[in-house]
Structure 1
Amino acid sequence: MPRIAVSATAGKKTAKAAKAGKDEPTRRQQLAAKTRERIFRIAIREFADKGFSGARVETIANRAKVNIRMIYHYFGDKEALYVEVLEHVLARLREAELAVALDVRTVHPADGILQLYDFTEGHFAAHPELLCLLSWENLNRARYLKRSKVIQAMSSPVLDKLRTLIERGEAAGNLRAGIDPLHLYVTLVSLAYFHKSNAYTISRMFDTDMLAPSWQADHKAEAHALVRAYLEGERVLEPG
């Protein structure tokens, strides 16, 4: 009997170990995941540098050190890979925006809106590939962005944050009346985007290094003053 009991216990342990083994990824699965990730990271750089039309699947395969068939195996085709790249960089922006430590119920509305601006400005500085991809896709008139089923839904939570801050500010008299959340968001992104995405050309035109940290810091202070004046000042002209 003791021997049987030991065998039963050992059997349970063996079954448990077998189940755990099934739940854990195999070495082949781990290698496949790493290969896919390597292809994807290189694709981000390639599309950011050259856009959809200029990027080549062959170049991505060579740099990733894989057979070109592997790209089609993991992503379907070049267009599907490009759309996934767009979804990834925009999702990373949205996730980070929503993670900003900001209590929209208690923070001063103008301060909260400026915190969102600061985050966006910092994210663009840290992720120049996002600026490049957005610029390329604008040249494409959002042709491939339209094919994503998830990108449009990503923006709603950000507008909800702005809407809450605006409504609180208007109710308390901290902000002027009539501010539209979408117009405000576009304004914030514009102030955070243009001087980075076009820095090389306007630096050349005005013989000023607009990517210099000191110039960027000064421009950020200018943007703060503009946004605060817009939020808190009286409306001078009503739209016709």
Structure 2
Amino acid sequence: MEAAPTSRSENKRSRPPRNAAATRQRILAAAVGEFAANGFSGARIENIARAGKSNIRMIYHHFGSKDQLYIEVLEHVLDQLREDELGLDFEHVSPREGVHRIFDFIHGHFASHPELMSLLSSENLNKAAFLQRSTRIPERASPVIAALATLLRRGAELGVFRSDVDPLHLYVTIVSLAYFHRSNAYTLSQIFRHDLLDPAWQLQHREQAREMVFAFLAPVNA
């Protein structure tokens, strides 16, 4: 006996609801790759739609514009960095171990997230025109600097750190030591005829950079 034909309304009711959050996340992930590879100007919405298994209409539905999508991409990659930084345990370790963890985390994060380097380099070329429109990013950065300031203060009180270190200066120094040799690896490798992306070279450079940070932090009369 044949089954009775299913009405159109019954078909609609039986379909699972579209997962808007999953669609949004697919689009965002695709946009990270597209903007990292091509910058804001070179990125194409149709490429994002194809990679995100969506369509252009849905991109504008979820994000409103290419500008806003790009801003949310920047917020997303920096949020990942901040979330993981703030997840580090600073309260139950010595000041030296705390700074050690920050250094190793930042160094490792840039190694495993090359898209972050590409996006930051691209936005620097834009003179941070899009980052200026984000309120989330400055708010998320403040707790990280505050945590580092606490470690520096505790270290100075214990006599293991010098007392005149500015936490923002130190943070920027650590980021630069984790960032520059990677973001410029291709040009530097060509100039010096040495593969700066070689894992052994990267490891040696990390150890040297870490030693430089702690040599700087040591008390002046130590």
CA distance in 1, matches of 2:165, 2:58: 50
**Partner of residue 155 from structure 1, selected from 114, 132, 141:** 141
One-letter code of the match for 2:90?
A: D
**Structure-1 residue corresponding to 2:64:** 76
CA distance in 1, matches of 2:102, 2:57: 42
One-letter code of the match for 2:120?
A: L
- Could you tell me whether the CA contact under 8 Å between 2:185 and 2:197 is conserved in 1? yes
**Structure-2 residue corresponding to 1:178:** 164
**Partner of residue 97 from structure 1, selected from 77, 80, 85:** 85
CA distance in 2, matches of 1:233, 1:177: 8
Deviation at 1:63, TM superposition (A): 3.0
- Could you tell me whether the CA contact under 8 Å between 2:177 and 2:209 is conserved in 1? yes
**Structure-2 residue corresponding to 1:48:** 36
RMSD between aligned residues: 1.5
Deviation at 1:219, TM superposition (A): 0.3
CA distance in 1, matches of 2:55, 2:21: 15
CA distance in 2, matches of 1:123, 1:135: 16
**Structure-1 residue corresponding to 2:11:** none
Query: How many positions carry a matched residue from both structures?
Result: 207
- Could you tell me whether the CA contact under 8 Å between 2:95 and 2:155 is conserved in 1? yes
**5+ unaligned residues in a row in structure 1: which ranges?**
1-25, 236-240
Query: Secondary structure of the equivalent of 1:141?
Result: coil
One-letter code of the match for 1:198?
A: N
**Structure-1 residue corresponding to 2:119:** 133
CA distance in 2, matches of 1:62, 1:164: 46
**Partner of residue 27 from structure 1, selected from 13, 16, 39:** 16
CA distance in 2, matches of 1:161, 1:84: 26
**Partner of residue 129 from structure 2, selected from 143, 149, 152:** 143
Q: 1:174 to 1:53 in 2, by over 3 A?
A: same
- Could you tell me whether the CA contact under 8 Å between 2:37 and 2:118 is conserved in 1? yes
- Could you tell me whether the CA contact under 8 Å between 1:110 and 1:231 is conserved in 2? no
One-letter code of the match for 1:174?
A: V
**5+ unaligned residues in a row in structure 2: which ranges?**
1-14
**Partner of residue 64 from structure 1, selected from 52, 58, 68:** 52
Query: Secondary structure of the equivalent of 1:174?
Result: coil
Q: Does 1:38 align with 2:38?
A: no
Deviation at 1:233, TM superposition (A): 4.5
- Could you tell me whether the CA contact under 8 Å between 2:163 and 2:219 is conserved in 1? no
One-letter code of the match for 1:215?
A: W
Q: Does 1:215 align with 2:201?
A: yes
CA distance in 2, matches of 1:133, 1:164: 30
**Structure-2 residue corresponding to 1:17:** none
CA distance in 2, matches of 1:34, 1:213: 36
CA distance in 1, matches of 2:86, 2:51: 34
CA distance in 2, matches of 1:57, 1:69: 10
% identity of equivalent residues: 54
Deviation at 1:157, TM superposition (A): 1.1
40-49 vs 54-63, greater mean Cα deviation: 54-63
Normalised to the residue count of structure 1, the TM-score between the two structures is 0.82
One-letter code of the match for 2:104?
A: D
- Could you tell me whether the CA contact under 8 Å between 1:89 and 1:130 is conserved in 2? yes
Q: 1:177 to 1:65 in 2, by over 3 A?
A: closer
| Higher CA-based Rg | 1
Query: Secondary structure of the equivalent of 1:155?
Result: helix
- Could you tell me whether the CA contact under 8 Å between 1:39 and 1:61 is conserved in 2? yes
